[in-house]
Structure 1
Amino acid sequence: MRKGFFFTLLVFILFLLVLISVTAWSRIRESQEEQVVVSMRINKMNEFAEMIKEDAERTTLLSGANALRTAAAYVAYNNESKFLNNADCFQKDCIYELMYNATIGGEENYTKMDGNNVSFSDSDQMGNFTLKNWDERIVKLGDKAGFNVTIYRDNIGVYQSDPWSVKIGYNLYLNITDKALDSVFRRDLTPILVTIPLTNYTYGG
């Protein structure tokens, strides 16, 4: 009777040890798999962030060049141009507004001296090359990749460093979070500075 009891107890203990071992192994396995997933998501997020930074400079060049050309046409064909009466308009406000939203003072178009109406979004003006369109495209790309993306800019500056070029710069803030993994996120501050040559195209009107 006593031998049977000890045998049963031994079997129970062995079973318990096996169960604990299997449970521990399963948890270790799950933890390892989770670490692999987290590592993959971090790598993907880092690649996505680097792509954004590289594309931000290219987009700033395109939207900046179009904004300068559009502003030149606006000044040439509009006697009430804000550029003629407001130094801040050229130095930052109006140029950046054109770059971001294809507007000046909230207006989407202006009237030439001959009475013709011109939209800042026309293909020969800003077209689709605005920072706002770029922001929306980046957010959509992030959404498809499983990321939430927010974009913010400050310290915008536009200045002519020499007679042949204009520099446009700002601080680009990126906040990227993983939709599925709260522990995976990154916040970046990237200074963007581009130099746009003043060519016949830039001031072609």
Structure 2
Amino acid sequence: MKKKGIFFTFIAITLTAVVILSFIIHTQYRLRNKMFVIETRIDTLNDFIQDTETDLERGLYIAAFRAILSLEQYITTEGVFLNNTELNFKEIILYGTINNTAIDIMQGATFPDWAERIQEEADKIDITINFLINDITLNQTNPWYVDVNSNISMNVTDKKQTASWEKNRKITTSINIENFEDPLYVINSYGRVTNKIKRTNATDFGDVNQLKTHLENSYYIASTSGPSFLMRLEGKLSSSPYGIESLVNVREFTAEEVPVVADSHVDYIYFDEGTVENCLVNETALDPYYYWFRLDNQHLGTYEATCFSQ
């Protein structure tokens, strides 16, 4: 009887151990499976956040580019310079309006519109994302580019409550000003003459042919004596470390019956109400197409020119 008792006890202990072991294995499997699901979901959220940041950068660039186009459209349509470029820019990129007037090319193209499209895509994969645009600024730190900076708070949550993120993100994009219209030309010609900002290819103004090409097309050079692109949107003619300047081809003004004046043809001087001491340029004075070209003393050296003496 003792042997049978020991045998049955051994079997009972063995079966109990098997049951416990099976339970442990099953529990570990479930935990591993659950952890795998959680890790997969977290990876999905991480990938989504990275994609979102890339999309926000792209969205900021597109919205900012259109916003600048809208500012120029407003200047042309209203026939006035902007009062406050940065405030006007902030209004147009966030709300699609300038002074509460809707601008058609910003319809569905504001920065919040872009963020809303990201939210719609997130919803398709059971992710909730909320944006708070804390600030957007516009400034210039280079003659040929304007910088747009945005500070955004992001809250990203898995709808299954697996994980969530909260973070502040600073997004910056740069817009090349080339091929935007120079508002100084538009306003000072009563909307009859336009001039796109194009950087000159000239490398030697001492070559009169390069000088003539530069003048004919009113190309631009960087100039710390001239106003920046953002200043031009407000009609300001003072100097900037990030300034640019062109030479005004008055033949285009004459063709549109816009009165011309005998002043230096450097744009910010020519469009100013006053006049400065200037002279006909020796290199073009006898040319039937460019005999009218004038420069002030300060810019004779810039364009490697001399005064014409009769």
- TM-score tier, shorter chain, comes to 0.7 to 0.9
**Match among 108, 119, 127 for residue 147 of structure 1:** 127
Per the alignment, residue 95 of structure 2 pairs with: 101
Per the alignment, residue 42 of structure 1 pairs with: 42
The alignment covers a number of residue pairs equal to: 184
CA contact (8 A) 1:97 1:103 kept: yes
Provide the rounded CA distance (Å) in 1 between the counterparts of 2:40 and 2:182.
47
- Runs of 5+ unmatched residues, structure 2: 187-310
Per the alignment, residue 219 of structure 2 pairs with: none
One-letter code of the match for 1:197? N
Provide the rounded CA distance (Å) in 2 between the counterparts of 1:203 and 1:27.
71
Provide the rounded CA distance (Å) in 2 between the counterparts of 1:31 and 1:101.
49
Residues 50-82 of structure 1: CA deviation (Å, up to 9, x unaligned): 11111211111111011111122223323788x
Equivalent runs, 1:49-88 vs 2, <5 Å: 49-78=49-78, 83-84=82-83, 87=84
**Match among 154, 164, 167 for residue 174 of structure 1:** 154
> 1:16: how far off?
1.7
**Percent of paired sites with the same residue:** 22
Residues 24-63 of structure 1: CA deviation (Å, up to 9, x unaligned): 1011101111121122112211111111111211111111
Which stretch shows the higher mean deviation, 62-71 or 168-177? 168-177
One-letter code of the match for 1:101? Y
Per the alignment, residue 112 of structure 1 pairs with: none
> 1:139: how far off?
1.0
Residues 176-198 of structure 1: CA deviation (Å, up to 9, x unaligned): 1212243x222333321111122
Tell me the C-alpha RMSD between the 2 structures: 2.6
One-letter code of the match for 1:99? I
Structure 1 counterpart SS, 2:98? coil
Provide the rounded CA distance (Å) in 2 between the counterparts of 1:174 and 1:185.
10
> 1:23: how far off?
0.8
One-letter code of the match for 1:187? E
1:126 counterpart = 2:120: no
**Match among 167, 173, 190 for residue 169 of structure 2:** 190
CA contact (8 A) 2:56 2:115 kept: no
Provide the rounded CA distance (Å) in 2 between the counterparts of 1:142 and 1:202.
38
Structure 2 counterpart SS, 1:189? strand
Q: Which has the higher helix share?
A: 1
- Runs of 5+ unmatched residues, structure 1: 110-118
1:135 counterpart = 2:112: no
Provide the rounded CA distance (Å) in 2 between the counterparts of 1:45 and 1:202.
43
**Normalised by the size of structure 1, how large is the TM-score?**
0.77
> 1:133: how far off?
1.6
Q: Which of 1 and 2 has higher RCO (CA within 8 Å, sep 6+)?
A: 1
Structure 1 counterpart SS, 2:151? strand
